[in-house]
Amino acid sequence: MAIVYNPEKRTISLHTAKTTYQMKIGNLNYVKHLYYGATIPDEDLIYLVRRYDRGFSGNPYDSLAERTFSLDAQPQEFTTQQQGDFRINSIEVQNADGSFSFNGRYKSHRIYHGAFTLNGLPTAFAAENDTVDTLELVIEDAVTKVQVTLLYSVFEEADIIMRAARVHNAGNAAIQLKRIMSVNMDYMNGRNLDLLSLPGRYGQERQVERQPLTHHVHKIRSGRGISSHQQNPFIALMDRNTNEDAGACYGFALMYSGSFLAEVELDQYDQARLVMGINDRLFNYTVNPGEDFDAPAVLMTYTHKGLAKMSHNFHHFFRNNLNRSKFVRDVQRPILINTWEAAFFNFDDQKLVEIAKAAKDMGVEMIVMDDGWFGKRDDDNSGLGDWVVNENKIRCGLTELVRQINDLGMKFGIWFEPEMVSEDSDLFRAHPDWVMEIPGRRAVRSRNQLVLDVGRKEVQDYLIESINRILDSANIYYVKWDINRAITDLWSNVLPADRQGEVTHRYVLGLYRIMDGIIKTHPDILFEGCAGGGGRFDPAMLTYFIQYWSSDNTKPLDNLKLHYGSSFLYPICTMGAHVSAASPMVPLETKAAIAMCGTFGYELDATKLKKKEIRACKKMSDLYHKYYDLNFFGDYYRLANPFEQVNLVAWESVSKDKCEALVTVVTVNLTVNGPQEYIHCKGLSPNTRYHLQGGGYDLVISGMALMHAGIPIPREVPEFSAFLYHIQALDE
């Protein structure tokens, strides 16, 4: 078993292939967190916890005046409330008598095979040949009978632990749940920890910031109703000296697509505490007697081998344990061309066929009809929500248009934005009460659209039925699912006043039900997510969408930073990336090299390309297929940091057997008469002889030389040049 309970020592140890996580049922039945790190055999690590009389740190009443026992200084598996611990907490509950108190102590636990699931929330699953065990540990407040079940699924081979919390009201009166975190993580020595996060903004998503912990509460959050462009539900804590290749590193990724919160506090004793879960701002959930509330899952991993290994753990897990679609591994994804930047709203069926014909010569295999094909939709002021074909544009009808595209030997994709509505739409005129709008106040517009209350079942049913009708009417191969605004005006016309604090979470649960009813019922369609670019790119979304549009910003040099930041958590095969007409000073070949650090496609008008450009695109499309398996399933290494490196950016994909690698280098600022630049490979077998081709090289050389001596990068080249170095092991 990956989970071991020692009844004599009352320790519970979770073991993955290379890590150990230990907790102990300790004094007064409080559950203490003892250790998370490299594998340690089944020892009782309670000796790590030292007790002192800490001034002004209170003691539980039944500690019998034992002044060295205070929850304000003890590492805990899940915190109490109003029991003397003044640090950031895991739960805030208001009881029926108005009190704010939760004194959770050990009640029971059970261990079983398989991964836990949550009510209405996505979780990871056990892939083929995975060893997965689960611990359910119940803590209870003896007075109110409020219980919290701490859930831990241990994915042994993957070095991943999935955690969550379930609140159960076993009392006889309703409670108000005002805060519930999915994970609490205490570090007994946090003074030398750094925090890494992925902040950003629209068009500049998932940038990278690393900062030392200070004696404050460091808060990473989204309050926008979506996981957001501004923050991503991922953080990493690491030792101050940790780099790509070495050092202790702890990664945490929340499987939730709404407003979230991650907090890290360095306390007065240099202990650190991390909590992560639903954002408690504007959140208040009623839990009646006998009811449960499930908090979303968190995926966490530890390694002492640096940031690259942390990323590899997440990448492997995301590819194998989040999405069961055949497009994850069994079916190669087609090269697509999207019509948005080619035509915006100005297209008809004839224009689409013309684009498809021209794109086929580029090696494109699928055309995607973006916004503007439905309702009365000639701009972004009308039609949204009316999921019927606009036959003034698609004059031949959708079924016939798709047939014409298929007759060209190409597949067909389509765009939807299910969660939003235009005021100038038949849907809004029929159901104005379906919109989120606070009584007596006019709703905030964004992109001239309003938000549907998708927490309502009738709204969910309408979207499932109307979108499925379109999907079932033609041979549709691909769907781009978009959302183009944040969530405001939190209000539901079907909830009473005292339950309006549930709206934001009910929205997320409703969205997951809609996606269950559309995506999960169409296993032969490839679904890609989008949120004005990468505004809702999160692990929960990847249980529905095998890929996510990384950003509306298709400028290739900006994407160097965007892909770098995204790669700390997300594998290449999940990052939507296209070659576009943006940045005309950057060669097409360089744009393609950057887009291959993603799912690869085109975002331009193929009918306006010159023959020379079409031939270049065909060559690049062929390279995408040639290196598909290597890029999508290999280990990804960041070789040069675009936030620090001023001359070039580089990355590498290495096959699992270390027999093949592809190194991509993009020059961004090779100064006149400057120094020689070198790129050092990673992940190769030191004693293997490799055939190196590309960038003017055709030679046989050892893995040791490629990793430690490196590859000299040509200097006398045009600005923004790209080089692909293919590395193949020789047969011995």
- Provide φ and ψ at 90, rounded to 5°: -95, -25
Using CA atoms, how far residue 78 sits from 46, 195, 381, 457, in Å, is: 17, 21, 48, 34
Kindly report the backbone phi and psi dihedral angles of residue 180, in degrees, each rounded to the nearest multiple of 5, phi listed first: -150, 115
CA distance 623 to 619: 6
Nearest to residue 153, comparing CAs of 123, 128, 119? 123
Closest of 235, 291, 237, 232 to residue 256, by C-alpha: 232
Does the annotation count 524 as an active-site position? Answer: no
Q: Which amino acid is at 412?
A: F
- Give every CB contact of residue 672 below 8 A, 6+ residues apart in sequence: none
Which H/E stretch holds residue 595? helix 588-595
Three-class SS state of 251: strand
As given in the structure block, the two tokens for residue 600 are: 């690869």
DSSP 411: E
Residue 489 CA, chain-centre distance (Å), reads: 26
> Under 8 Å CB-to-CB from 461, ≥6 apart: which residues?
none
> Within 10 Å of residue 658's Cβ, how many Cβ atoms?
18
What's the CA gap between 180 and 285, in Å, rounded? Answer: 10
552 is known as an active-site residue = yes
How many helices (H) and strands (E) the chain has is answered by 12, 39
The single residue of 267, 552, 605, 635 carrying the catalytic annotation is 552
CA dist 320 → 116, 323, 526, 675 (Å): 17, 7, 17, 43
Widest pairwise Cα distance in the chain:
86
Instruction: Give the DSSP per-residue string, 34-103.
Output: EEEEE---S--GGGG------TT----GGGTT-TT--TTTS-BSS--BSSS--S--SEEEE-TTS-B-B-
Strands 146-155 and 160-169: antiparallel
Residue in the structure block whose two tokens are 């698609």: 394
The C-alpha R_g of the chain, in whole angstroms, comes to 27
Q: How far apart are CA 463 and CA 665, in angstroms?
A: 45
Left, alpha or beta for 105 (phi > 0: left; psi -120 to 50: alpha)? Answer: beta
- Lookup result for tokens 């969660």: 419
Q: What is the DSSP string of 224-235?
A: SSSS-SS--SEE
Q: Give the span between the Cα atoms of 705 and 636, in whole angstroms.
A: 20
Helix (H, G, I), strand (E, B) or coil at 655: coil
Phi and psi at residue 315, to the nearest 5°: -60, -50
Beta strands in 543-600 (DSSP E): 547-549, 575-576, 579-580
- Show the tokens assigned to 584: 């005309």
Q: Is 415 helix (H, G, I), strand (E, B) or coil?
A: strand
Active-site hit among 85, 348, 386, 482: 482
The two tokens of residue 438 are: 């606070």
Residues known to be catalytic: 482, 552
